Chains A and B, each alone.
Chain A
Amino acid sequence: AQKVTQAQTEISVVEKEDVTLDCVYETRDTTYYLFWYKQPPSGELVFLIRRNSFDEQNEISGRYSWNFQKSTSSFNFTITASQVVDSAVYFCALSERVVTSGTYKYIFGTGTRLKVLA
């Protein structure tokens, strides 16, 4: 079963539009972390944000904002006034404990390709 679901495979918007990328996760852990990464056309993933399961405060960083809601197991990402440079694949990820081994693992969603048109 997919533990991190990014239902939107591809989104196209016109520059200056706002866009929200959805992420729904599934975990039984009470302590976990959620992440967003950006993969521009060059291919190298770039870390955007980390959230731990005890901090539901929304965060804003410039044109980027994140909405974490434990009640709906969602961690959505909004880009305000999108720009062409925002065109990339965006991945949501979950870090949770592996019960059997006590170690941890990252689970990435399948990504959402965002195309911002000029």
Chain B
Amino acid sequence: EAGVTQSPTHLIKTRGQQATLRCSPISGHTSVYWYQQALGLGLQFLLWYDEGEERNRGNFPPRFSGRQFPNYSSELNVNALELEDSALYLCASSFSGLAGGTGNEQFFGPGTRLTVL
């Protein structure tokens, strides 16, 4: 069974540009989570999607946005890139986190390393 996949593996952008990161969840999983892992800061929760809707977001500015498609894959968009956006962006999926499913373990992808110059 295929795991969570993310593309691209690496992405290099310059300040002010936009970045688009993609994630495909494990088959059968409807929840997709995005995290930012900057050096020394652990995992910071960005966004949670389930059934095509944004269910929760972390303390990030609106220029971090995303969406979930009918096939449950997801896209993270970062607009007006800043140097401090350089980080590893991790996507995770799980069975639905709705209806009390908060105890579902998350399965992580390999991440996209975004570098902003």
> CB within 8 Å of B: which residues of A?
32-33, 35, 37, 42-47, 50, 52, 91, 93, 95-98, 101, 103-111
Contacts and interface: CB of A to CB of B under 8 A. Distances in A.
B108 interface: yes
Helix, strand, loop or mixed for chain A's interface? strand
B70 interface: no
Interface of B: 33, 35, 40-45, 48, 55-56, 58, 88, 90, 92, 97, 102-103, 105-111
A111 B105 contact: no
A96 B97 CA distance: 11
B56 A33 contact: no
14 contacts: A33-B102, A37-B108, A42-B110, A43-B111, A45-B108, A46-B108, A91-B42, A97-B102, A105-B48, A106-B33, A106-B45, A107-B45, A108-B45, A111-B42
Nearest to A33: B103
B74 to A, nearest CB: 16
A45 B105 CA distance: 11
Contact of B56 (A93, A101, A111): A101
B45 A104 contact: no
A10 to B, nearest CB: 11
B45 A44 contact: no
A34 to B, nearest CB: 9
Contact of A43 (B44, B45, B88): B88
A42 B111 CA distance: 10
The 6 closest A-B pairs by CB, nearest first: A110-B42, A45-B108, A108-B43, A104-B102, A33-B103, A47-B105
Contact of A103 (B48, B105, B108, B109): B48
A91 B105 contact: no
B90 A103 contact: no
A75 to B, nearest CB: 14
A3 B42 CA distance: 13
Contacts of B56: 98, 101, 103-105
B43 A47 contact: no
Nearest to B40: A110
A8 to B, nearest CB: 13
